[in-house]
Amino acid sequence: MTTRIILARHGESTVNVTALASDDHENNPLTELGRAQARALGESLRGSSVSAVYTSPMQRARETGAAVAAELGLPIAVERGLEEIRVGVHAGERAPESLVRGLVDFRRWLAEEDLSHGYVGGENGFEVVVRASAALRAIVERHPDETVLVVSHGGTISMTVPTLCDNVTLRSLHPRQLGNCDTAEVETDGASWTCVAWVGHAPEDFDTDEESVA
């Protein structure tokens, strides 16, 4: 039995526009562009046999999931563990400081494959992967042989997929960070996991030269 999970980053939110570091589950809605991105994602998934839609508890993910689910005629279910990385003492900081620090953090997590790194008072990469992996495994158990959409966050998806899947690495995803409403697709039989697409590209087609200079 094989379950297919389509992992989508949420649409553009006010947090993205202001480059705000935030742990707040509320008060960060989608922008007008984000709502349009979510509707477009839903339209693109018509006929894809998606049987369930799960979202992170964070407002921007819930709103994205609701817009997609409306296009598919499905309800949404909120799954704890799919949240974005908790930023701890840095909550409330804005660009340029938070943006520059965030880029450095992503380089350490992905390009340098250092998941022990994290935010003071928040989470490190290992903690994010543990909770997100547990959430995905629980979803798989509920939906054997089905296709499921999971709306989460760029950092959480980028660290969790290569940790679960043998055919992609943290380093290979560093130059391929997810844009708003971009997707990654994984398949699992409950034991082994495979990434079959990342932003529309098969992992075997990744440009290794691009990885080496990232």
Q: Are strands 50-55 and 147-152 parallel, antiparallel or unpaired?
A: parallel
- pLDDT for 209: 45
CA dihedral 142, 145, 151, 152 (to 10 degrees): 70
Give every CB contact of residue 83 below 8 A, 6+ residues apart in sequence. 25, 56, 57, 58, 131, 152, 153, 156
From the list 23, 6, 102, 106, the residue with the least C-alpha distance to 59 is 23
H/E stretch holding 185: strand 183-188
Cα 204 from Cα 164, distance rounded (Å): 17
What's the pLDDT score for residue 99? Answer: 62
Question: What's the confidence (pLDDT) of residue 208?
Answer: 57
Domains of the chain: 3-213 (3.40.50.1240)
Rounded CA-CA distance 109/116 in Å is: 8
Maximal CA-CA distance, the chain? 47
> How high is the pLDDT of residue 41?
98
Q: What is the amino acid identity at position 117?
A: H
Could you read off the pLDDT of 38-57 as tens digits, one per residue?
A: 999 999 999 889 999 999 99
Residues of the chain with pLDDT under 50: 209, 211-214
| DSSP-assigned beta bridge partners for residue 4 | 147, 187
